[in-house]
A and B are shown apart, each in its own frame.
Chain A
Amino acid sequence: EVQLLESGGGLVQPGGSLRLSCAASGFTFSSYAMTWVRQAPGKGLEWVSAISGSGGSTYYADSVKGRFTISRDNSKNTLYLQMNSLRAEDTAVYYCAKDRRPTVTTVGYFDYWGQGTLVSVSS
Chain B
Amino acid sequence: SYVLTQPPSVSVAPGQTARITCGGSNIGSKSVHWYQQKPGQAPVLVVYDDSDRPSGIPERFSGSNSGNTATLTISRVEAGDEADYYCQVWDSSSDHYVFGSGTKVTVI
Contact = CB atoms under 8 A, between A and B. Distances in A.
Contact of B54 (A35, A37, A111): A111
Interface in A13-45: 35, 37, 44-45
Contacts of B88: 45, 47, 109-110
Dominant secondary structure at the A interface:
loop
B45 A106 contact: no
B101 A107 contact: no
Given A61-B96, A62-B1, A107-B90, A44 B42 contact: no
B99 A47 contact: yes
Contact of B97 (A44, A50, A100): A50
A73 interface: no
B23 interface: no
A107 B31 contact: yes
Contact of A116 (B1, B33, B42, B100): B42
B49 A44 contact: no
Interface string B79-107: 00000101010101011111111100000
Contacts of B49: 107, 109
A94 B96 CA distance: 17
A84 to B, nearest CB: 20
A45 to B, nearest CB: 4
Interface of A: 35, 37, 44-47, 50, 59, 61-62, 95, 100, 104-111, 113-116
Interface of B: 1, 30-31, 33, 35, 37, 41-45, 48-49, 54, 84, 86, 88, 90, 92, 94-102
